[in-house]
């Protein structure tokens, strides 16, 4: 429903008419704002966020390109901040999905209202998430010391994940033609939140310029060395593990609680419905590194790699 043109206010319509516009492979209209493509309704929410959001110093914002490990990073952040909870019985992750606990600014809060009541949020510190690129996210943050954590993932795995996700939402089998279209749309860059290269680069550069406030994480590192990455996240969020916690296995407990098998087996994630009316279970699939090798031809992979090499050249970013 993010592509719906109903409910778009007059002043937003007028802005949209002055912006570059195009349609994605699904035939949905998009426009380009600050270098990023958005569905119209999504852009309206981004504009409302930029106009009305008032940061608190303690805010934490979890960010990503869709299908890069957002759900996982949200769960890890919640688990880190609630590690004093004894066992799973009263743990927030058992009563709501990671997406309910860490709501999206533009796809959830500002999608529902141009001025959402953020005092109703139960978490402290406040936890938010977004798929906006960094420069757009930062506009209302100004000099706020709030923390921004980005998770990036191998682009070829992202597009395979998106292919399965869209097929599940459409309640159809994942067909090859769908994969080919997604590759085409990634290469062209015209899709909600695209181009992915610019998205990743905005956070990569931001993390180099301001490492105290922007942390750049990788899905692949989280898989390979969860212990080190959970420690790193905790340090960044100013809640490092104590010696005692380390001795009693608190780091391992958090990484186990947030593993795909553990999260996807919680009742709330098996049966619940998300903010956008999709089953929570859709956010959990295989969770593997290099799944693209099972689906992409060499030609497809080369096409993506060539663009990536060109776009990331000189940035120091290797993917």
First to last CA, the chain: 32
Q: Can you tell me which of 291, 295, 301, 312 binds ligand A3P, judged by CB under 6 A? A: 291
Residue 64 sits in the site that holds ligand A3P (CB under 6 A): yes
Within residues 148-207, the interface with ligand A3P by CB under 6 A covers 157, 161, 164
What is residue 168's three-state secondary structure? helix
Instruction: Please work out the total of residues on this chain that contact ligand A3P, with binding judged by CB under 6 A.
Output: 21
Residue 251 sits in the site that holds ligand A3P (CB under 6 A): no
Residue 71 sits in the site that holds ligand A3P (CB under 6 A): yes
Distance CA 54, CA 270 (A): 35
Please identify, using beta-carbon distances, which residue of 66 and 240 lies nearer to ligand A3P: 66
Residue 283 sits in the site that holds ligand A3P (CB under 6 A): yes
In the bound complex, what is the minimum distance in angstroms from residue 127's beta carbon to ligand A3P?
Answer: 15
Please identify, using beta-carbon distances, which residue of 72 and 193 lies nearer to ligand A3P: 72
Residue 97 sits in the site that holds ligand A3P (CB under 6 A): no
Scanning 28-36, 40-48, 236-244, 255-263 for contacts with ligand A3P by CB under 6 A, the matching segment is: 255-263
The two structure tokens encoding residue 55: 């940061």
Residue 284 sits in the site that holds ligand A3P (CB under 6 A): yes
User: Rounded to the nearest 5°, which phi and psi values hold at 171?
Assistant: 55, 45
Scanning 47-55, 176-184, 258-266, 303-311 for contacts with ligand A3P by CB under 6 A, the matching segment is: 258-266
Burial 41-57 (b: 16+ CB within 10 A, else e): bbbbbbbbbbeebebee
Within residues 22-41, the interface with ligand A3P by CB under 6 A covers none
Asked if 128 contacts 102 with a C-beta cutoff of 8 angstroms, the reply is: yes
In the bound complex, what is the minimum distance in angstroms from residue 294's beta carbon to ligand A3P?
Answer: 11
Cα 111 off chain centre by: 16
Distance CA 163, CA 181 (A): 9
Please confirm, yes or no, whether 164 is among the known catalytic residues.
no
The two structure tokens encoding residue 162: 């998106």
In the bound complex, what is the minimum distance in angstroms from residue 35's beta carbon to ligand A3P?
Answer: 21
H-type alpha helices, the chain:
10-17, 40-52, 70-81, 92-95, 98-101, 110-112, 134-138, 155-169, 176-188, 196-209, 219-224, 226-236, 243-247, 250-257, 260-264, 267-271, 298-312
In the bound complex, what is the minimum distance in angstroms from residue 165's beta carbon to ligand A3P?
Answer: 7
Q: Can you tell me which of 8, 25, 231, 260 binds ligand A3P, judged by CB under 6 A? A: 260
In the bound complex, what is the minimum distance in angstroms from residue 277's beta carbon to ligand A3P?
Answer: 15
Cis status of the peptide bond prior to 195, with omega within 30 of 0 = yes
Distance CA 267, CA 97 (A): 10
Query: What is the radius of gyration, based on Cα positions, of the chain?
Result: 19
In the bound complex, what is the minimum distance in angstroms from residue 71's beta carbon to ligand A3P?
Answer: 3
Q: Which residue is catalytic, options 99, 111, 131, 164?
A: 131
Residue 68 sits in the site that holds ligand A3P (CB under 6 A): yes
Q: Which residue has the tokens 């067909």?
A: 175
Please identify, using beta-carbon distances, which residue of 44 and 161 lies nearer to ligand A3P: 161
In the bound complex, what is the minimum distance in angstroms from residue 283's beta carbon to ligand A3P?
Answer: 5
Q: Hey, which residues are catalytic here?
A: 131
Q: Which residues bind ligand A3P (CB under 6 A)?
A: 64, 66-72, 157, 161, 164, 258-260, 263, 283-287, 291
């Amino acid at each position: 429903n993010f592509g719906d043109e109903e409910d778009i206010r007059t002043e937003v319509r007028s802005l949209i008419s002055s912006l570059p516009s195009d349609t994605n492979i699904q035939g949905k209209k998009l426009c380009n704002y600050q270098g990023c493509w958005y569905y119209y309704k999504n852009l309206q929410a981004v504009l409302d966020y930029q106009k009305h959001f008032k940061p608190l110093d303690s805010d934490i914002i979890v960010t990503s390109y869709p299908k890069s490990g957002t759900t996982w990073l949200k769960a890890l952040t919640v688990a880190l901040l609630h590690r004093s909870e004894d066992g799973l019985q009263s743990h927030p992750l058992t009563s709501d999905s990671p997406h309910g606990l860490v709501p999206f600014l533009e796809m959830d809060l500002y999608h529902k209202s141009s001025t959402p009541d953020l005092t109703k949020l139960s978490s402290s510190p406040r936890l938010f998430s977004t798929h906006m690129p960094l420069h757009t996210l930062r506009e209302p943050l100004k000099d706020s010391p709030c923390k921004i954590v980005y998770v990036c993932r191998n682009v070829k795995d992202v597009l395979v994940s998106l292919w399965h996700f869209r097929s599940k939402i459409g309640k159809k089998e994942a067909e090859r033609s769908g994969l080919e279209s997604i590759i085409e749309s990634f290469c062209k860059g015209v899709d909600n939140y695209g181009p992915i290269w610019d998205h990743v680069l905005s956070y990569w550069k931001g993390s180099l310029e301001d490492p105290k406030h922007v942390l750049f994480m990788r899905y692949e590192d989280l898989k390979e060395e969860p212990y080190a990455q959970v420690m790193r996240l905790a340090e960044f969020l100013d809640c490092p593990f104590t010696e005692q916690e380390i001795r009693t296995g608190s780091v391992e407990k958090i990484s186990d609680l947030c593993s795909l098998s553990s999260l996807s087996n919680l009742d709330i994630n098996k049966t619940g419905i998300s903010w956008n009316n999709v089953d929570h279970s859709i956010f959990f699939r295989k969770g593997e590194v290099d799944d693209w090798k099972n689906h992409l031809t060499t030609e497809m992979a080369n096409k993506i790699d060539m663009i990536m090499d060109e776009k990331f050249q000189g940035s120091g970013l290797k993917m």
